[in-house]
Amino acid sequence: MTNWQELEAKYYMQVVRRTPLTLIRGRGVRVWDDKGREYLDFVGGWAVNSLGHCHPAVIQAVTEQVKTLIHTSNQFYTIPQVQLAELLVQHSCLDRVFLCNSGTEASEGAVKLARRYGKLHLSGAYEVITATNSFHGRTLAMVAATGQAKFQEPYTPLPVGFVNVAFNDIEAIKAATTPQTCAVMLEPLQGEGGVNIPSQGYLAAVRDWCHQKGLLLILDEIQTGLGRLGTLFAYQQHGIEPDIMTLAKGLASGIPIGAVLAKEAASVFAAGDHGSTFGGNPVACAAGYATFKYILENDVAGQVRMTGEHLMRGLQELKQKFPSVSDVRGRGLLTAIEFKSDIAAAVGAACFDGGLLVNVLKANAIRFMPPLIISTGEIDEALGILERALTSIPGQVADE
């Protein structure tokens, strides 16, 4: 057999700490490696595989599209792009859509839109307030927006125009607001930063502050949107509406795509102000339309509320059973388990040995992002593997 991991080490830039696993096939919530071993996938492509692996609706849409029209530039109209844009607007509080290729591109587009708005309506204001422990992408500007020193320090000096303040602290946002501020950009729930949930009323207070000061509120729903938290969008759980919203990850269930949505008043791009060669590609849009349509027609968000509660109950039971677990938190099917010591890597490795793929988020935390179509039976199977993994860690024996 070809040793694909050795070839990767020889040819690929070593920028990812990979699990020693070469995946070759997936179906639903399960994947198989090149040795034929089966795993439950609770990483889900980092919250991308919303309908699981190789969902029939996505396969059909992509297959039909690649046989019809694979790509043409945005110089021309294409039907899947318009269909997806219409569906997104009809089922959100926003009025306009720009389609791109990824979450970081969506974040870039949102910031460009906010800066354009600042130039037109706020006397040239250009600064965007973001939160510590946030994550908005990997481009140089989005590294500056991301409030985590570990991502920023290797690339200083960073682009100017971003002010990082404490998450879940409205007073910090107020103190950071100056005449140069054009927008506040927040994740409704910080995924990569630790599955950090804001207190009740925080986002509503931010919305009120932005309204008072004439600022745009950008919600980064790249990880939280499209049913992941048990509603189509996270903003619906807070009784607010953003001026701009970004989507990506789960929108096309594995095909690369991103989206910037905006209220009409915030949609200030003119012809030539923004663009993309591949953004809104017919194949990606066909996958996105099929994915979002399936989520809507099958009340996937409602299913996530049920399965998410089931997962949370199971994790809470493990917390009661294992003194090593310090916290369990999350919404819907975006959850994390935190430990009192740095055992996350050992627990993740034991889960892997047991046939469960998880995301080691930090030295003391693991994140779970399974496909939205997961069943309670599959969750129970995963919880059983996790329990055996916890039991196997020296010094972490379950309470009797």
Domain assignment present for residue 349? The answer is: yes
**Which residue among 249, 269, 292, 322 is the active-site one?**
249
Q: What is the CATH number of the domain that holds 263?
A: 3.40.640.10
Residue 56 has pLDDT above 90, yes or no: yes
Please indicate, yes or no, whether residues 345 and 306 belong to a single structural domain of this protein: yes
400 — pLDDT class (breaks 50, 70, 90) = very low
| Among candidate residues 297, 318, 350, the one where a domain is terminated | 297
For residue 66, is pLDDT > 80?
Answer: yes
Pick the catalytic residue from 42, 98, 151, 220.
Answer: 220
Which residues have CB under 8 Å from 55's CB, separation 6+? 28, 253, 291, 294, 373
Does pLDDT of 397 surpass 90?
A: no
Task: Say if residue 100's pLDDT is above 70.
Answer: yes
Q: Choose the catalytic residue: 135, 233, 322, 339.
A: 135
pLDDT of residue 396: 63
Known active-site residue 220: yes
* Same domain (yes/no): 82, 109: yes
Q: What is the pLDDT of residue 241?
A: 98
Are the C-beta atoms of residues 188 and 234 closer than 8 Å to each other?
yes
Residue 398 lies in a domain: no
Q: Is residue 93 part of a domain?
A: yes
In a shared domain, residues 144 and 233: yes
Average pLDDT for residues 321-339, to the nearest whole number? 97
Residue 176 belongs to domain spanning: 56-297
User: Of the candidates 265, 297, 329, which is a domain's last residue?
Assistant: 297
Into how many domains does the chain fold? 2
134 with 221, same domain: the answer is: yes
Yes or no: say if 104 and 138 are a contact pair by the CB < 8 Å rule: yes
Helices (H), the chain: 4-11, 44-47, 56-66, 79-90, 103-121, 140-145, 149-152, 170-176, 202-213, 282-297, 300-321, 344-354, 376-392
Structure confidence by residue, pLDDT tens digits, 125-182: 999 999 999 999 999 999 999 999 999 999 999 999 999 999 999 999 999 999 999 9
- CA 103, 106, 108, 113: dihedral to nearest 10 degrees? -160
Q: Residue 191: its pLDDT value, please?
A: 96
Of 270, 297, 324, the domain-final residue: 297
Contact by Cβ (8 Å): 318, 347: no
